[in-house]
Amino acid sequence: MQITLTIPDKKADSFLDVLRHISYVNIHPSDVVCCQPLAHDDEDYCQSAEEFYEGLRRAVHEVNEHIAGRIQLRTAEEFLNELQGDSHC
């Protein structure tokens, strides 16, 4: 059986420590890790679960700051242009 849990960030590490000590519980890092090469010549790139979730936390924080009116975010078009290397807006 597979179960999905929602745990506060501050409690996640200690909860995972408890789970690691239960013999019949299997934690599969591939379920929580973003691990895809950025390019053919960069096959060693792999993001740990902690790095992935830290980036996700930062992104959610930025969205919350934008909603509160404290920061201005790029538009989707600006973001896509940056990804494509397009310098004009």
pLDDT digits (tens, 9 = 90+) for 21-76: 888 888 765 444 444 444 444 445 566 778 888 888 888 898 899 999 999 988 88
pLDDT of residue 41: 47
- The letter for the amino acid at 15 is F
pLDDT of residue 28: 66
Say yes or no to pLDDT of 89 above 70. Answer: no
Is the pTM higher than 0.75? The answer reads no
Query: Contact at 8 Å (CB) between 63 and 72?
Result: no
Query: Contact at 8 Å (CB) between 31 and 16?
Result: no
CB atoms within 10 A of CB 16: 13
Query: Contact at 8 Å (CB) between 61 and 55?
Result: no
pLDDT of residue 81: 84
